[in-house]
Amino acid sequence: MTRRSAALAVTLLCLLAVPLRAAAIDEAERLWMVGERAVAEDLPLLAARVLERFVQQYPQDARVGAAFLLLGKARLALGQPDAALKAIARAQTFQPPPGAPHEVRLWQGEALFRLKRYAEAKAAYTDVLRAASGSALAADALYGVGWVELETKRPEAAAAAFAELLAKWRDHALAPAAALAHARTLIELKRYPDAVGRLVAFPTTYAGSPLRADAQDWLGVGRLRAGDTQAAVSDLRAFVDAHPAHDLTPAARRLLGETAARTGDRDRRAMLERATTAFRRKDWKEAATLATAAAATADDEAVAAEAWLLAGEAELKLKRFVEAVKSFEAVVEVKNLDASVRYRAVAGLGLAHEEQQAWKPALSAYETVASQSPDPALREWAKERAAVVKNRLPKSSM
């Protein structure tokens, strides 16, 4: 409740407490005035409390039909659709019906919709559309039809209803909500250009609408679904930064995280492919740089191991043996690694140690490869290197 609403509620409650003899109006008038004003000012709890007193104490008052309709609205706002439907049904018994023509039927549709009695709700909305096609109530009814179609899994029909509302009643109070619902439905239908176009125009078309933040979030979603990842991420980040407490912000943050992970994985694989290409053209330095970067940021252990192996092999070519050892050791540390990758790394580790004349670790690596590698050619090569290293070992180490 805003400060203004709170102050108004206090004022209205004080008016109710004024003794009859001191009041310039009688009690029925007071109750009616407070109840009507509370509904208008979105104070449903106060409205319901006062209007219930009014209809119980003054059933013969000429305004009691209107009071039942207002009571139904207040109960709907309180999330009490069953009680609201009962009050609206009472309002329907009065002749002429209270409110604008066909307004009672519209609110009956609203209550039925909240009760998920969608077929009955659509019938009520359709009655209003037929009987009051040129009035503002028809826009409300068409909006209701759109949501019934969404809830009953008919997005094409929903999109058509929202589009018709926006075409006929551009300045209606429900137009911003209809535009947002239309865009969301178009996203569901994979009509991404149409959805994005409507959402891009939303901030200027509905400059004063509180739904501008929602539209910004859905613009990011629409662009992401359309494959425009860079623009989508920009929209979602701007939304999250500007509206940290918004109801949609947690979902937007999750979407950003998932997108970053997915995009990052693609980027790392692309980087590894560029590193492989550089290695093939014997550009060892670029290969080592790209492979190391891909390995250091990879979330997938298999991708990281492949990148570290390529980095180690490039470092061997550059004769940077300390760096090569680190790269190959990073491969070996990966659990559940494919045996062919593991023993290529162990072989590279042996070679890097040998080049540094670290004979014992070199021999240990070669003997491991010679006895355990699934690759016959690599086993034979490791046996040959092991024999060479043994001949170089100091006699005291034998």
- Note down the domain range covering 95: 1-99
Domain membership of residue 10 (yes or no) is yes
78, 99, 120: which is the final residue of a domain? 99
82, 99, 116: which is the final residue of a domain? 99
Domain membership of residue 21 (yes or no) is yes
Whether residue 9 contacts residue 32, with contact meaning beta carbons closer than 8 Å, is answered with no
**Cβ-based neighbours of 200, under 8 Å, separated by 6 or more:** 219
Flag whether pLDDT at 193 surpasses 80: yes
Instruction: Report DSSP state, residue 218.
Output: H
Per-residue confidence (pLDDT) for residue 32, from 0 to 100: 95
The residue to which tokens 């619902």 are assigned: 181
**pTM: predicted TM-score of the whole model, two decimal places:** 0.64
242 HSE (CA, 13 A, CB side)? 12
Per-residue confidence (pLDDT) for residue 241, from 0 to 100: 87
Dump pLDDT digits (tens) for 267-319: 677 778 888 888 998 989 888 888 887 787 666 788 888 889 999 999 999 99
Domain membership of residue 93 (yes or no) is yes
CATH of the domain at 362: 1.25.40.10
The residue to which tokens 């137009």 are assigned: 175
Mean local confidence (pLDDT), 387-393? 89
Domain membership of residue 289 (yes or no) is no
The Cα–Cα gap between 230 and 246 comes to 23
Domain membership of residue 342 (yes or no) is yes
364 HSE (CA, 13 A, CB side)? 7
Domain membership of residue 391 (yes or no) is yes
Domain membership of residue 287 (yes or no) is no
**Cβ-based neighbours of 29, under 8 Å, separated by 6 or more:** none
Helix (H, G, I), strand (E, B) or coil at 337: coil
Count up the domains in the chain and report the number: 2
Per-residue confidence (pLDDT) for residue 141, from 0 to 100: 97
Dump pLDDT digits (tens) for 43-86: 999 999 999 999 999 999 999 999 999 999 999 999 999 999 99
Per-residue confidence (pLDDT) for residue 20, from 0 to 100: 45
51, 82, 99: which is the final residue of a domain? 99
Peptide bond into 96 cis (omega under 30): yes
Domain membership of residue 37 (yes or no) is yes
Mean local confidence (pLDDT), 180-209? 96
Dump pLDDT digits (tens) for 257-266: 777 666 665 6
Per-residue confidence (pLDDT) for residue 297, from 0 to 100: 66
